[in-house]
Amino acid sequence: MKRFFRFLLKLVLGLFLFSILMVIIYKWVPVPFTPLMAIRYFENPEEDIHHDWVAMEKISDNLKLAVIASEDQNFPVHSGFDYEAIQKAMEDNKKGKRVRGASTISQQTAKNVFLWPQRSWFRKGLEVYFTFWIELFWSKERILEVYLNSIEMGQGIYGAEAAAQAWFGKSAENLTAYEAAAIAAILPNPRQYRAKPASSYIQGRQAWIVRQMRNLGPLEL
């Protein structure tokens, strides 16, 4: 029994150290693939995966601002968790209202890079764990860079460069405000929605995101 517990302790310690090592490595090294990419491949091997990592300066400020305006307007100032949004989501849940996601860009980055998309308390706990570490070791700029290079932005489309090429036939650094807003508008369900041609629903979200971008002003991280 003692041998078993000793083995278990070593295993837990090893996994802990490995997780910290991966967080530190990805502070500088581009993320080559994500667990979601692997899952999508095994779900449909015939679906091509488009993923081209580009440096932060090669991504339009319009897209950076669009995803913040759409997904997490408190991103520049929170420590990884938007407690106000979490509280509101809990209140809406109690009232039986449609629950809006309270996950921050930091949490989504942690999930995209290190975890799988399944909803469970265990996975959510790991998401909190990795969010804490990336907020500790990475800068806000790095978190946003990894997020924009890793997130699913269409069927088989991952990251800003692949999305810009697929939807608008141009590089990510040349996206206009309305093009960036169209991409950000589909993020709640990128496999169902299209940035171009956009449905009336996505056009409505696009217009709202552009207004939010104007209200937020120039991006400061």
Which of 2-16, 104-118, 171-185 bottoms out in mean pLDDT, i.e. has the lowest? 2-16
Which of 26-30, 31-35, 85-89, 117-121 bottoms out in mean pLDDT, i.e. has the lowest? 85-89
**pLDDT computed for residue 219 by the predictor:** 86
Domains of the chain, by residue range, sit at 26-216
Q: What is the pTM of this model?
A: 0.91
pLDDT in tens, 44-77: 998 999 999 999 999 999 999 999 999 999 999 9
CATH no. for 26-216: 1.10.3810.10
Average pLDDT, whole number, for the chain?
A: 92
Average pLDDT of the residues in 150-158: 96
What is residue 98's three-state secondary structure? coil
Going by C-alpha positions, the residue among 144, 162, 139 that lies closest to residue 152 is 162
- How does residue 84 score in pLDDT terms, banded at 50, 70 and 90? confident
**pLDDT computed for residue 91 by the predictor:** 65
**pLDDT computed for residue 214 by the predictor:** 96
Task: For residues 213 and 66, give the distance between their C-alpha atoms in angstroms, rounded to a whole number.
Answer: 6
pLDDT > 90 in the chain, percent: 76
**C-alpha separations of 48 from 5, 14, 37, 150, 157 in Å:** 45, 35, 10, 16, 8
Which of 137-141, 194-198, 215-219 bottoms out in mean pLDDT, i.e. has the lowest? 215-219
Average pLDDT of the residues in 138-143: 98
**pLDDT computed for residue 27 by the predictor:** 97
**pLDDT computed for residue 220 by the predictor:** 84
The strand pairing partners of 157, in sequence order, are 50
Task: For residues 28 and 55, give the distance between their C-alpha atoms in angstroms, rounded to a whole number.
Answer: 11
